[in-house]
Amino acid sequence: MKIMDARTRIQLKNILFATDFSPASTAALPVAAEIARRYGATLYTLHVTPASTYAMAPPETWSALAEAAVTQTRQQMTLLHKDLQGVECQSLFGDGEVWPVVAKAIQEERINLVVVGTRGRSGLGRAVLGSEAERILRMAPCPVLTVGPHSHGETHSSGELMEILYATDFGPASDAGAAYALSLTQEHLARLTLLHVVEHPSKGDLVRSGQLSAQALDRLRGLAPSEAGLWCAPRYVVEEGKPAEKILEVAVARKADLIVLGVHRPASLSGAVTHLPMATAYKVVAHATCPVLTVRG
């Protein structure tokens, strides 16, 4: 059975854009706005004021500080919405820890997609996502589009998606991203590359890597329906090596504007995960030079 059906269009009615008004977070806004525009979705922009904002101030000033913060936040929201013509926008505000406020908004507004930007940090040779963005990535029950710390502004400044890379391990979680990859490709009349990475076989493995690659190529070709060739020309690529590294390499080679990945749900409510798919997704998001869409299985 083909998991992609050209007649099946994903439903995106409510999109949540979480922002702290930093340049890194607002860099994700054009992508969120363009997707909302194409799908006729409502774009909810959410800002959460951390409780620590008032921690060092005398208690008697907290009320005045909170009022001033609300006024400033509303002004910044107005500036964000100013250039979003053709998109229905609504502002949401919250106080305290970011994730509980985001989780509440996802439930109450029936959010289909969360978009978040993060500046992250680099240390000891590896990129690290901001803690709040990482928690959203790991915990959100709906798809999350993340503009990571290495995402180049020129690839998403307009929100246009001309080149989409869909990476799959053929598992149930990864298959969940297929409908999104195909639908976004169709909406943007983009080019689509389907990728599978064959990890190097262990010693004593009776199946040769060449056989695995050939089988993977056949499975990739079976993912897209034949009619997809009428509006895009899918490319099928099989690589050997470590999944995260190869996904990033192919994304750069193809000059991808978006990477789509399927991921497993968290192993616990704390967000702890030990299985490869989320670990791979985390590495891709942290190092990708374009936005990354992660879709739950």
Q: What is the DSSP string of 221-237?
A: HTTS-GGGGGT---EEE
Return the ∠ at Cα 151 (arms to 149 and 157), rounded to 5°.
125
Q: Is the pLDDT of residue 121 over 60?
A: no
Residue 260 banded pLDDT, cuts 50, 70, 90:
very high
**Cα–Cα dist 296/142, whole Å:** 7
Residue 244 banded pLDDT, cuts 50, 70, 90:
very high
Residue 8 banded pLDDT, cuts 50, 70, 90:
low
The token pair that represents 224 in the structure block: 């897209």
**Cα–Cα dist 224/82, whole Å:** 39
Task: Report in angstroms the alpha-carbon separations of 278 from 112, 133, 182, 285.
Answer: 20, 14, 22, 10
Q: Is the pLDDT of residue 192 over 90?
A: yes
Q: 130 or 30, which is more confident?
A: 30
pLDDT for 202: 59
**Cα–Cα dist 257/151, whole Å:** 10
To which residue do tokens 């992508």 refer? 31
> Lowest-confidence range among 39-43, 103-107, 157-161, 197-201?
157-161
**Cα–Cα dist 170/280, whole Å:** 14
- The total of other beta-carbon atoms located within 10 Å of residue 107's CB is 10
Q: Is the pLDDT of residue 193 over 80?
A: yes
pLDDT tens, position by position, 217-234:
888 887 777 776 666 788
* All domains in the chain, ordered by first residue: 14-296 (3.40.50.12370)
The token pair that represents 63 in the structure block: 């009320």
**Cα–Cα dist 31/143, whole Å:** 14
pLDDT for 13: 95
pLDDT for 70: 73
**Cα–Cα dist 123/290, whole Å:** 20
pTM exceeds 0.75: yes
